[in-house]
Amino acid sequence: MDELDANVSSKEGFGSVEKAVLLAFLSAVILTAILGNLLVMAAVCRDRQLRKIKTNYFIVSLAFVDLLVSVLVMPFGAIELVQDIWIYGEMFCLVRTSLDVLLTTASIFHLCCISLDRYYAICCQPLVYRNKMTPLRIALMLGGCWVIPMFISFLPIMQGWNNIGIIDLERISKPRLGQDLHVIEKRKFNQNSNSTYCIFMVNKPYAITCSVVAFYIPFLLMVLAYYRIYVTAKEHAHQIQMLQRAGAPSEGRPQPADQHSTHRMRTETKAAKTLCIIMGCFCLCWAPFFVTNIVDPFIDYTVPGQVWTAFLWLGYINSGLNPFLYAFLNKSFRRAFLIILCCDDERYRRPSILGQTVPCSTTTINGSTHVLSHCLCEHEGAMDVGEKHHGQGIIADLLCDSQPLWPLKNPLLPTSQSCCGDK
């Protein structure tokens, strides 16, 4: 989000070595984001099973947004940073800034929608999920991810609402502001200067409104959603352990308590690590920028340009991390990636899954067998449990392999058995 794209170099500028290193780093970030997001989109287009999963609509739309960020926003920021000058004119500066705000906000909104989708899939019963995440509601959520950011990007920026109340520096003499004038002048676009910058000045109301809408509200929703997901996963693992302790071994196979405890601990650890990685990367990438974004207008725009640049590119890096966090960590996506990268190698193709769905955990009550969950035993590249259950393949890696996606209603059923075996 280029609200204050303070690509202002030091007084001496970058040397040739520094420019080469900086250019190599920025190029690597841009290329990684482009290739990663293209690969995600190609995988869904080629894999029919991935197209059936509701969550992947958000994943593909997120990849498209991040691809646009890496193509339409990052390259111009990199050129300005390396060359220490903006050469494309004031109007294109406004267009590029508007695109920056629009696309980065849309990317954050997609991350929020993914967290809500996972919340409904994991913390609710299947019928509730199907009622909540209908095709119409998914379409409305995706449309909102694109439309709402326009009201804090193109509309106010092109109308100049972000500049209302900011001091007109051209009417103030230099002795009045002293050294502060140089810092603020460097942030303003001056077409008469030999060294111009694409800088976007914002007033306090716009800074607060933009930051709250683009970051703080989605951040709060993500924290609440992922917290509930973790609590549900933890409760589920505890209930499974109680079921296994209360049940009798079937078919003479031993099921020691310590093995169940290890499996439960592995479940909790995997869920916790996944959630920590997702939220940690999101906060690390965007929190510094949006905290500074609100603080800066209240301290007379005295945040150094180098700090703005570092925080801005941290946010850009998030567009390159999203494919790894939301797709590369998923088994089904990794399989699709291998097929694409290995030129349709048959070894990575998913075999037919007809007849492979089996009850993974059952219990006997009054002589009747009841299925607690279903899974697809992991052999010959079988599909993840999450893909079969709710169609949420992206969630399989979050809760571990053969667990139901909602808390069991009765944790004290008498007998349980596993047909897939512990992993």
Residue-wise pLDDT for 117-157, tens only, equals: 988 888 887 788 888 899 999 999 999 999 999 999 999 99
Higher model confidence: residue 137 or residue 245?
137
d(CA 4, CA 301): 10
Question: Please, are residues 44 and 59 in contact by the beta-carbon 8 Å criterion?
Answer: yes
Question: Please, are residues 407 and 392 in contact by the beta-carbon 8 Å criterion?
Answer: no
Could you state, in order of their start, the residue ranges of all structural domains in the chain? 16-340, 353-418
Q: What percent of the chain clears pLDDT 90, i.e. is strictly above it?
A: 36
- Residue 169 dihedral angles phi and psi, to the nearest 5°: -65, -25
Q: What CATH code would you report for 16-340?
A: 1.20.1070.10
Higher model confidence: residue 332 or residue 412?
332
pLDDT band at 6, cuts 50/70/90? very low
d(CA 332, CA 49): 9
d(CA 137, CA 131): 9
Q: Which of 30-44, 188-202, 238-252, 321-335 has the highest mean pLDDT?
A: 30-44
Q: In the predicted model, is pLDDT for residue 407 greater than 60?
A: no
176 C-beta neighbours (distance < 10 Å), count = 8
d(CA 251, CA 60): 45
Question: Please, are residues 227 and 276 in contact by the beta-carbon 8 Å criterion?
Answer: no
pLDDT given at position 249: 52
Question: Please, are residues 21 and 78 in contact by the beta-carbon 8 Å criterion?
Answer: no
Higher model confidence: residue 328 or residue 393?
328
pLDDT given at position 163: 82
pLDDT given at position 356: 44
Those residues whose C-beta lies under 8 Å from the C-beta of residue 239, and which sit 6 or more positions away, are 407, 408, 411
pLDDT given at position 319: 93
Those residues whose C-beta lies under 8 Å from the C-beta of residue 240, and which sit 6 or more positions away, are 260, 263, 264, 267, 361, 403, 408
d(CA 33, CA 63): 9
Higher model confidence: residue 61 or residue 162?
61
Q: In the predicted model, is pLDDT for residue 67 greater than 70?
A: yes
Say if strands 417-418 and 368-376 run parallel, antiparallel, or are unpaired: unpaired
Q: In the predicted model, is pLDDT for residue 409 greater than 80?
A: no
pLDDT given at position 41: 94
* Pure H helices in 296-325: 305-323
Residue 107: both structure tokens together: 């990317």
Q: In the predicted model, is pLDDT for residue 158 greater than 50?
A: yes
pLDDT digits (tens, 9 = 90+) for 215-229: 999 999 999 999 998
Residue 245: both structure tokens together: 């302790």
Question: Please, are residues 47 and 159 in contact by the beta-carbon 8 Å criterion?
Answer: no
CA dihedral 56, 62, 66, 67 (to 10 degrees): 50
pLDDT digits (tens, 9 = 90+) for 352-378: 444 444 444 444 434 444 444 444 433
Q: For residue 283, what is the enclosing H or E element?
A: helix 257-295
Question: Please, are residues 46 and 339 in contact by the beta-carbon 8 Å criterion?
Answer: yes
pLDDT digits (tens, 9 = 90+) for 271-311: 667 777 888 899 999 999 999 999 999 988 888 888 988 99
pLDDT given at position 167: 59
pLDDT band at 260, cuts 50/70/90? low
Is 358 in a helix, a strand, or coil?
Answer: strand
DSSP state of 161: G
pLDDT given at position 195: 55
pLDDT given at position 235: 82
pLDDT band at 317, cuts 50/70/90? very high
pLDDT given at position 130: 86
Q: In the predicted model, is pLDDT for residue 61 greater than 50?
A: yes
d(CA 216, CA 213): 7
Q: What share of the chain is helix, strand, coil (3-state, %, to 5)?
A: 65, 5, 30
- Cα–Cα nearest to 73, from 399, 316, 359: 316
pLDDT given at position 125: 79
Q: From edge to edge, which strands make up the β-sheet containing 417-418?
A: 368-376, 357-365, 417-418
Q: For residue 246, what is the enclosing H or E element?
A: helix 217-246
* Pure H helices in 124-134: 126-132
354 exposure class (CB count in 10 Å sphere: 0-12, 13-18, 19+): exposed
Higher model confidence: residue 43 or residue 245?
43
pLDDT band at 2, cuts 50/70/90? low
pLDDT band at 266, cuts 50/70/90? low
pLDDT band at 239, cuts 50/70/90? confident
Query: Amino acid letter at 394?
Result: I
Count of positions (residues) in the chain: 423
CA angle 308-311-317, nearest 5°? 140
